[in-house]
A and B are shown apart, each in its own frame.
Chain A
Amino acid sequence: MSPSFYYALKASFFIWLLTTAYGLRAQSANFSRELRFAQYLADKDAFDEATYVLQRIDSRILQQTERDSLAYYLGWTAYSSKSLDQAAQQLLAVSPVSAFYQKSRFFGAYCLLFQGKRDSANVVIERISPSDSTLGELKALQLAGITLLQRRLTDYQRFSQIFTYSSYAMAEEQKRLDTYYKKLSSQKHKSPFLAGLYSSLIPGLGKIYAGKKMQGIAALLPVVTLGLLTFEGYRKDGPRSLRFLGFGSLFTVFYVGNVWGSALAVKIKRDEFNREYDNKILFDLHIPMRNLFQ
């Protein structure tokens, strides 16, 4: 064996060692580059493209921290494109060792909350161990908001006691949650039966009682007109006349419809009220998270 061949063999082995180490580093660098590229796409609002890039990364060859980062970025992209189901699934897959853990838990729970999965969101938030007092207060705010959304008003004060009203990120939202609590506590429970009864006495009055003033006035007009026409038919042509029977039938349909509509109006108004406050609460739970986690 010539000395040149020996040196070449030795050099090749050295190169092999070097390239293996380089390959491992390159794999990690490649992952970081793909993440940065996906973020670049997401910054340009190209969420579908960013998701495509992230989904093409083979998570099996990644380390735990990299897998967490991948899940976080997939979740965040889905959250940004309002695919909340996908976002919750990915964000809640981030493990506690990740630097994104707390943020992922809060936002993952919020995605569940927005989809109406309030019990699941409550469980996720309750299990969070806040890393500092501000996050502790954020946790209390979220739990207080969930009690309002679930209308467990007696539990609200247990969490609102933790509010300091001094954090720039959530002081206003804490005050507003207190206002919502008062509004929800003082909400009058109107009776559909009473609304129907009122409308049977004076057409449209039940709708005014339910909180739909304009509908009440609008309902009065056709019922009264048909009532007058029925009365005219009865007075001029008698109870067996076609005029009396025709207008009488129409009057009956409108009268009964108005009574039934008034009973329904109570439920509709209650649903509108609940929806309005649910949206306000969800909005005020979201703002502090955006303030704290940039």
Chain B
Amino acid sequence: MTTRFCLICTFLCVTYFSKAQQSGQLSGLAAADSLLAANQYFEAGIAYERVLFENTETAATYKAVLGKTLSLKQMGRYNTAVTFINSQFSNSYPDSVRYQLRYQQILCAYLAGQFENTRSLLERLPVEHPGAPYSPLLECIRVFTLNELHRWAEAAVAYREAIGRLGADTTSDDPYRRLPKLKRESKAQWLSTFLPGAGQLYAGKPGEAILSILVQSAGLYFGVTSFLNAYYLSAWGVGAALFGSFHAGGVRRSQALVRQYNQRQISAFNERVKKRLLYQSSPDSASGR
């Protein structure tokens, strides 16, 4: 009689507790995924962290790391995503999983503007994963990163390789045949020192060049005429002071203008390469070929 009672109790208890435990483990990852699908990225990030906190199983951990990375990416927290992947990277993961994580880390590092880090991660990728499949997106990122770092020669090689792999014509419309012509700040400084306004003209700002010539001439004119009329204090205190101030300012301004000019040239060039590479990688372009 007692045996039967105990058996019924055991059956009911085991069924109740094992079901509760199972559903708890499964619901964590599923709940996080559904939050991510519902665009609730902050909550999804916490749900994935909970899976990492409560789970030691490799498959669930990997899925949670990837999910959390996607949540951070969607929230635009690319720097945090890079650090997060670094902290979660484990050699116990299978090779394909580690590749996926590295892939995401490279994307996040590039989006975070960590160009040196992106380059370093890209260099390590073929060493860590020799048999990894070719990724057109990573190739594009390699070119963009090298461009951002002004490593034009390496960027040109990477660009031609990427275009070649995409099956596009590598001989026509190669932006690296016409690299941006950068101007020298020292030259602008030297020109402005000896020829007022010449530095601004060299930087491609004729309007500012004329203004600089006018204000410096005005100061000089006032100084000379004051001196000739025996107003020596005015010649020194106003004429020379105005001329000196505008001259020194003109020299500094010409350097700043050259810096801005170079930045514009680099940005325009990078944008041109980006457009061309992304167009060649797009499905429309592939179908056209």
Chain A residues close to B by CB (< 8 Å): 3-4, 7-8, 10-12, 14-15, 18-19, 36-37, 40-41, 44, 46, 48-49, 52-53, 225-226, 228-229, 231-233, 236, 243
What are the residues of chain A within 8 A of B5 when measuring CB–CB? 7, 10-11
A41 to B45, CA, bound (A): 11
The answer to whether B45 and A49 touch across the interface, beta carbons within 8 angstroms, is yes
Report the count of interface residues on B (CB-CB < 8 A).
25
Instruction: Judge whether B234 is part of the interface by a CB distance below 8 angstroms.
Output: yes
Interface residues of B in 67-82 (CB under 8 A from A): none
The answer to whether B50 and A18 touch across the interface, beta carbons within 8 angstroms, is no
A36 to B234, CA, bound (A): 77
> With A53-B46, A225-B237 in contact, do A15 and B53 touch (Cβ < 8 Å)?
no
What are the residues of chain A within 8 A of B9 when measuring CB–CB? 11, 14-15
The answer to whether A15 and B16 touch across the interface, beta carbons within 8 angstroms, is yes
Pick from A40, A44, A49, A229: contact of B234, CB under 8 Å:
A229
Chain B residues close to A by CB (< 8 Å): 1, 4-5, 8-9, 12-13, 16, 42-43, 45-46, 49-50, 53-54, 87, 230-234, 237-238, 241
What are the residues of chain B within 8 A of A37 when measuring CB–CB? 49-50, 53-54
The answer to whether A232 and B231 touch across the interface, beta carbons within 8 angstroms, is yes
Min CB gap B23→A, angstroms: 14
The answer to whether A18 and B13 touch across the interface, beta carbons within 8 angstroms, is yes
> With A15-B16, A229-B237, A229-B238 in contact, do A49 and B231 touch (Cβ < 8 Å)?
no
CB contacts between A and B, total, < 8 Å: 58
Min CB gap B29→A, angstroms: 16
User: Mostly helix, strand, loop or mixed at chain A's interface?
Assistant: helix
> Which residue in chain B gives the minimum CB-CB distance to A230?
B233
A230 to B241, CA, bound (A): 16
Q: List 6 A-B contacts (CB under 8 A).
A: A7-B1, A14-B9, A18-B13, A41-B46, A53-B46, A225-B237
The answer to whether A229 and B233 touch across the interface, beta carbons within 8 angstroms, is yes
> With A7-B4, A229-B233, A232-B231 in contact, do A12 and B50 touch (Cβ < 8 Å)?
no
The answer to whether A232 and B8 touch across the interface, beta carbons within 8 angstroms, is no
> With A15-B13, A18-B13 in contact, do A7 and B8 touch (Cβ < 8 Å)?
yes
> Which residue in chain A gives the minimum CB-CB distance to B241?
A225
Min CB gap B171→A, angstroms: 52
Pick from B12, B13, B231: contact of A236, CB under 8 Å:
B231
The answer to whether B233 and A49 touch across the interface, beta carbons within 8 angstroms, is no
> With A15-B16, A37-B53, A225-B237 in contact, do A49 and B4 touch (Cβ < 8 Å)?
no
What are the residues of chain B within 8 A of A41 when measuring CB–CB? 46, 49
> Which residue in chain B gives the minimum CB-CB distance to A235?
B233
Min CB gap A197→B, angstroms: 27
> Which residue in chain A gives the minimum CB-CB distance to B233?
A232
The answer to whether B49 and A46 touch across the interface, beta carbons within 8 angstroms, is yes
What are the residues of chain B within 8 A of A19 when measuring CB–CB? 16
The answer to whether A52 and B238 touch across the interface, beta carbons within 8 angstroms, is no
A147 to B43, CA, bound (A): 46
> With A49-B45, A49-B46, A236-B231 in contact, do A8 and B8 touch (Cβ < 8 Å)?
yes
A233 to B233, CA, bound (A): 9
Most buried by A among B13, B46, B53, B54: B46
A236 to B54, CA, bound (A): 91
Min CB gap B265→A, angstroms: 39
The answer to whether B238 and A15 touch across the interface, beta carbons within 8 angstroms, is no
Pick from A11, A44, A243: contact of B8, CB under 8 Å:
A11
What are the residues of chain B within 8 A of A226 when measuring CB–CB? 237
